[in-house]
Structure 1
Amino acid sequence: MFKVVVWLLVLGAFLYGGLLVPSAPYPASSAATEVNPLPLPADLPAPVERFFRKIYGNQVPQIQTAEITGLAHLRLGGIRFPARFRFLHRTGYGYRHDMEVTWYGIRIMTVKEVYAHGQGRMELPSGVTEKEPKVNQGANLALWAEAIWFPALWVTDPRVKWEPVDASTALLRVPFEDQTETFVVRFDPGSGLLTLMESMRYKAADSPSRTLWLNESVQWEPLNGQLFPTVGKVIWFDDRVPWAQFRVQHVKFNLSFAGGPGAEL
């Protein structure tokens, strides 16, 4: 009996050890072009203006495409797995998500999500989900929430509107089909940096109602010469714990996707 217990402990330690080995990151693209700045709009709510001046100063870049790569942890079946990610954006219109879950650095699961031309498609080991209105709604919210990595889009895209709430909160209105969706955006009163985005999102294609969806910016650090949210968490309110945590390592703007990943955008 003692030997059985020992072997079970050894096996458990071995299985758990694989969760502690980080994934190898995706290689970052080296091709990018200059961003042409525009003046910061003058009619922004006070906490929004403070945030953009802290990040960009008096001018904001025009960003048409973006590549964000880094490492992540994804909670699957209650277990926190290491992963790597590459997110490609045609800003304000579509994205491609590539994620690989690993164990001891070995890929054990691949996830691909594409949102293009108003349609979401998820490729999971369990199958493909597409042409689902509730998936499209969730994908569109992700499109705009992930602009935290290039927030200039929120003031350079004329379809986006800001509305004041109080000294540390504002509403972000973004387009979806023939209507708008709303984020409640919260800023740190001390630093002025964005800390949380809240929206109501369908959790799955068959969800009967929307669930509060939280996007938390945990850590801001200098990256490529400006303050950047290098660590972020995604939380479904009813789960109480993050289902994903992302640590950004590289970001490139205004690169071409022609002939490679992202061409479908």
Structure 2
Amino acid sequence: MAMWLGRVALGVLVLVLLGLQALRLADGRADRGSAAALRRTPASPPAFDPQQVADLPDPARRYFLYAIRPGAPLRQVAELEMEGELSLGSKARPDYLPMRGRQVLRLDGFVWRVRAGTPAMWFSGSDGYVNRQGWTRFWLYGLLPIVRAGGGEDFARSAAGRAVAESAFWAPAALLPSPRVRWEPVDADTARAVVTLHGHEHRVELTVGPDGRPASVMVMRWSRENPERTWRLQPFGGTIGAVREVDGYRVAAEVEGGNGFGTPDYFPFYRARVVSIRLH
């Protein structure tokens, strides 16, 4: 009897492991399919004309003239590889973990695949927002699911806010004036992009230097990263360190960001350095 029970237990364990492996492989296929959907762009995009931004608030105009070379194709998608640090801790004890990631970013979506941790303890998975669906899926050692979230309107709205804000880092052409993007003045060095995406307005404040070089980005993001765990609008953003040139653009090469940006509670849980980037 004991031997029979042992064999049953072993069989159940094997079935569970096979099921988890199938789920992990399905996550990978879903990530690749979503990234491929974001890469679909016009084969011959129009070129940037400075007259497109002549009537914008001065900080926004300076930003675009700094970020996009006249005549550069208006590329809407950024594809990048990054390295840096990620914290699962707190402002008092950040305990940063090394991370490496790849991201495909468009104004209306993103797929961020990342591995973080040490050889002794690591996890991998993805965050994303594609076709009005947001998700977070992470696995410990590539074997055990530790986070699987998403699927609701709140989660999708929050993920969309990230895509919009990060476009100011890496896909500036996506924020040019259009039926879904308008600009408002804030002060001498800050302008606000109001982006209408899937029924919600995302308000992104961009602060620039005298030459238009981007310094910081802040979005009022729909989030529950607060002590009450209540969904609400709250500041999320970060600063831009180094800048690099690529294909007629100047984009962020070093960024850090987190919740509560601009408040005493700000904690940059995410620090990234761009290893490679291409726009298409």
Give me the TM-score of the superposition, normalised by structure 2. 0.70
In structure 2, do the counterparts of structure 1 residues 45 and 235 end up closer, same or farther at CA, with 3 Å as the change threshold?
same
Structure 1 distance, partners of 2:248, 2:70, is: 15
Q: Decide which of 117, 128, 138 is 2:158's aligned counterpart.
A: 138
Where is the helix percentage greater, Structure 1 or Structure 2?
Answer: 2
Secondary structure, in 3 states, of the residue corresponding to 1:38? coil
Partner residue in 2 for 1:39: 49
Secondary structure, in 3 states, of the residue corresponding to 1:37? coil
Secondary structure, in 3 states, of the residue corresponding to 1:57? coil
Q: Is the 8 A contact 1:88 1:96 kept in 2?
A: yes
2:98 aligned with 1:75, yes or no?
no
2:270 aligned with 1:241, yes or no?
no
Partner residue in 2 for 1:14: none
Secondary structure, in 3 states, of the residue corresponding to 1:61? coil
Structure 2 distance, partners of 1:52, 1:192, is: 7
In structure 2, do the counterparts of structure 1 residues 234 and 225 end up closer, same or farther at CA, with 3 Å as the change threshold?
same
Give me the identity figure in percent. Answer: 21
Partner residue in 1 for 2:193: 172
In structure 2, do the counterparts of structure 1 residues 72 and 66 end up closer, same or farther at CA, with 3 Å as the change threshold?
same
Partner residue in 1 for 2:75: 63
Task: Please state how far the C-alpha of 1:158 moved relative to its aligned partner.
Answer: 3.3
Task: Please state how far the C-alpha of 1:181 moved relative to its aligned partner.
Answer: 1.7
Structure 1 distance, partners of 2:214, 2:249, is: 14
2:212 aligned with 1:161, yes or no?
no
2:249 aligned with 1:229, yes or no?
no
Task: Please state how far the C-alpha of 1:157 moved relative to its aligned partner.
Answer: 4.3
Q: Is the 8 A contact 1:100 1:107 kept in 2?
A: no
Unaligned runs of 5+ in 2: 1-40, 140-145
1:72-111 matches, within 5 Å, as: 72-77=84-89, 78-89=94-105, 91-104=106-119, 108-111=122-125
Partner residue in 1 for 2:240: 217
In structure 2, do the counterparts of structure 1 residues 65 and 185 end up closer, same or farther at CA, with 3 Å as the change threshold?
closer
Secondary structure, in 3 states, of the residue corresponding to 1:53? helix
Q: Which has the higher contact order (CA 8 A, sep 6+)?
A: 1
Structure 1 distance, partners of 2:197, 2:101, is: 25
Partner residue in 1 for 2:220: 200
In structure 2, do the counterparts of structure 1 residues 225 and 58 end up closer, same or farther at CA, with 3 Å as the change threshold?
closer
CA-to-partner distance for each residue in 1:47-91, whole Å, 9 max, x for gaps?
1111211222334532243311110210112310000011112x2
Task: Please state how far the C-alpha of 1:221 moved relative to its aligned partner.
Answer: 3.2
Structure 2 distance, partners of 1:214, 1:113, is: 17
Q: Is the 8 A contact 1:62 1:156 kept in 2?
A: no
Q: Is the 8 A contact 1:134 1:204 kept in 2?
A: no
Structure 2 distance, partners of 1:169, 1:57, is: 21
Task: Please state how far the C-alpha of 1:213 moved relative to its aligned partner.
Answer: 0.8
Letter paired with 2:211: S
Count of matched residue positions in the alignment of Structure 1 and Structure 2:
220
Q: CA RMSD for the aligned pairs?
A: 2.4
Partner residue in 1 for 2:20: none
CA-to-partner distance for each residue in 1:82-135, whole Å, 9 max, x for gaps?
00011112x22221110100315x771013112111110110242311222221
Unaligned runs of 5+ in 1: 1-31, 255-265
Structure 1 distance, partners of 2:250, 2:108, is: 24
Where is the strand percentage greater, Structure 1 or Structure 2?
Answer: 1
Structure 2 distance, partners of 1:70, 1:170, is: 28
Structure 2 distance, partners of 1:72, 1:34, is: 34
Partner residue in 2 for 1:26: none
Secondary structure, in 3 states, of the residue corresponding to 1:51? helix
Structure 1 distance, partners of 2:107, 2:115, is: 25
Structure 1 distance, partners of 2:278, 2:231, is: 38
Task: Please state how far the C-alpha of 1:227 moved relative to its aligned partner.
Answer: 2.6
CA-to-partner distance for each residue in 1:17-73, whole Å, 9 max, x for gaps?
xxxxxxxxxxxxxxx977641323132111111121122233453224331111021
